[in-house]
Amino acid sequence: MKTVTTLVALRTETERLRQGGSLALVPTMGALHEGHLTLVRKARSQADHVAVSIFVNPKQFGPNEDLDAYPRQLARDSELLEAEGVALLWAPTPGEMYPAGYATSISVEGVSAGLCGADRPGHFDGVATVVCKLFNQVRPDMAFFGEKDWQQLAVIRRMARDLDLLFPPADAIYGVPIVREGDGLAMSSRNAYLSVEQRKQATALPASMRRAIAALAKGAGVPGVLEQLTGDILAAGFDSVDYAELRDAESLAPPGPASGNLRLFVAARIGGTRLIDNMPLA
Ligand SMILES: Nc1ncnc2c1ncn2[C@@H]1O[C@H](COP(=O)(O)OP(=O)(O)OP(=O)(O)O)[C@@H](O)[C@H]1O
Ligand SMILES: CC(C)(CO)[C@@H](O)C(=O)[O-]
Ligand code: BAL
């Protein structure tokens, strides 16, 4: 595996790899876990070569968020990726990604509004901007994202279609199902912030969501179920619930006569750590 940190070196390596077949990109912020490695394995199954990017993107963190605290463990991540047969690790510095005078931002309307977009103003502009840059830098044939960040995936798909980034966007952007711990908690780099006690309490998030989905399947009314869900999460030790909402899985619009498949989306905070999860209705 080659590790590159400059755009010049990246261009040389990606040209070389593309001559030997198709190239997949797996964008990450590092602190890798089985969720990320599942994306890498899926990418390896679809492409001749896999490039992984590790970049903790300052533009997607709000002023009071965890940019400084976000775990950075490049040496360990690099070993994990090497063992997975990754061909290229793209690990730019913030200065390489956003040189002095940088002034461009991408904003994706519609799907960015609501849910995490409401709680984290500017977050999806930061994600769209860096992912667009990553696509232009690496020029992959396909890219892989996790369904844990379902709204992020919807934003990236919309952007790729609107800006003709990957072709054909419907096939070139893969969504990979959520990888969970044995007790149901969605894997996330931020789980490392949890104390032993909070980690136990955190299992209430997916468990309460599954109960809510079962209640809806039995015909219980949506407002009551969402109220109960919020109450269950708080009773388990979470400090707050940012949102607990049903949305159309594709458009992310609130449920209505035109809704197709619905999905349950939750974000909740425990001891300063913000966890997200989503599940389809049964
Ligand atoms: N449990 C998971 N299952 C499937 N994909 C995942 C999982 N966790 C992360 N991913 C995906 O890995 C990619 C990189 O995510 P990122 O580096 O932000 O990790 P993360 O664990 O989601 O971290 P964070 O704690 O910041 O949410 C994203 O496409 C994300 O959706
Ligand atoms: C897609 C991404 C790598 C962009 O910084 C990030 O939002 C993430 O890790 O999900
Ligand atoms: N996994 C999404 C990146 C973020 O929370 O900033």
- What is the Cα–Cα distance from 129 to 126, expressed in whole angstroms? 5
Instruction: Please give the average per-residue pLDDT across 80-101, as a whole number.
Output: 98
Instruction: Please give the average per-residue pLDDT across 50-58, as a whole number.
Output: 98
The reported pLDDT for the residue numbered 257 is 87
Share of the chain above pLDDT 90, in %: 96
- What is the Cα–Cα distance from 25 to 137, expressed in whole angstroms? 11
Last residue of a domain, one of 176, 208, 225: 176
How confident is residue 50, by pLDDT bands cut at 50, 70 and 90? very high
Report yes or no on 13 lying in a domain. yes
How confident is residue 258, by pLDDT bands cut at 50, 70 and 90? confident
Paired with 156 in beta bridges are none
The reported pLDDT for the residue numbered 46 is 97
Residue 57, number of CB atoms within 10 A of its CB: 21
CB-ligand 3 contact for 149 (6 Å cutoff): yes
* 36 classed as catalytic: yes
Instruction: Please give the average per-residue pLDDT across 56-83, as a whole number.
Output: 97
The reported pLDDT for the residue numbered 156 is 98
Residues 74 and 122 in one domain: yes
Residues 13 and 65 in one domain: yes
Residues 136 and 43 in one domain: yes
Report yes or no on 117 lying in a domain. yes
Residue 23, number of CB atoms within 10 A of its CB: 22
- Whether 30 shows a pLDDT value over 90: the answer reads yes
Nearest C-alpha neighbor of 128 from the set 108, 113, 111, 147: 108
Residues 249 and 155 in one domain: no
How confident is residue 208, by pLDDT bands cut at 50, 70 and 90? very high
Report yes or no on 32 lying in a domain. yes
Report yes or no on 263 lying in a domain. yes
Contacts of 176 (CB under 8 A, 6+ apart): 38, 39, 42, 144, 145, 146, 147
Per DSSP, which regions of the chain are E strands?
A: 2-4, 23-28, 49-54, 88-90, 142-146, 173-176, 240-248, 262-270, 273-280
Ligand number nearest CA of 145 is 1
Task: Tell me the CATH number at 266.
Answer: 3.30.1300.10
Site to probe by mutation for ligand 2, drawn from 152, 155, 179 as the one with most ligand atoms within 8 Å of Cβ, is 152
234 lies in which domain range? Answer: 189-280
Q: Which two tokens stand for residue 234?
A: 């708080």
The reported pLDDT for the residue numbered 183 is 97
ipTM at complex level: 0.97
Residues 73 and 155 in one domain: yes
The reported pLDDT for the residue numbered 264 is 98
Last residue of a domain, one of 119, 149, 176: 176
Report yes or no on 58 lying in a domain. yes
Residue 105, number of CB atoms within 10 A of its CB: 12
Binding-site residue numbers for beta-alanine are 60
Residues 24 and 114 in one domain: yes
Residues 76 and 104 in one domain: yes
Residues 147 and 267 in one domain: no
Residues 170 and 238 in one domain: no
Report yes or no on 182 lying in a domain. no
Residues 26 and 154 in one domain: yes
- Whether 20 shows a pLDDT value over 90: the answer reads no
Nearest C-alpha neighbor of 231 from the set 149, 197, 255, 223: 223
Out of 36, 49, 123, 157, pick the active-site residue. 36
CB-ligand 3 contact for 60 (6 Å cutoff): yes
Residues 28 and 157 in one domain: yes
Q: How many domains does the chain have?
A: 2
Ligand number nearest CA of 119 is 3
How confident is residue 169, by pLDDT bands cut at 50, 70 and 90? confident
CA 44 to chain centre: 19
| Residue-wise pLDDT tens digits, 102-135 | 999 999 999 999 999 999 999 999 999 999 999 9
The reported pLDDT for the residue numbered 259 is 86
Phi, psi of 276 (to 5 degrees): -125, 155
Task: Tell me the CATH number at 34.
Answer: 3.40.50.620
Which residue's alpha carbon is nearest to atom 4 within ligand 3? Answer: 60
Instruction: Please give the average per-residue pLDDT across 155-161, as a whole number.
Output: 97
127 C-alpha to center of ligand 2: Å? 6
Which residue's alpha carbon is nearest to atom 18 within ligand 1? Answer: 29
Last residue of a domain, one of 141, 176, 211: 176
User: What average pLDDT does the chain have?
Assistant: 97
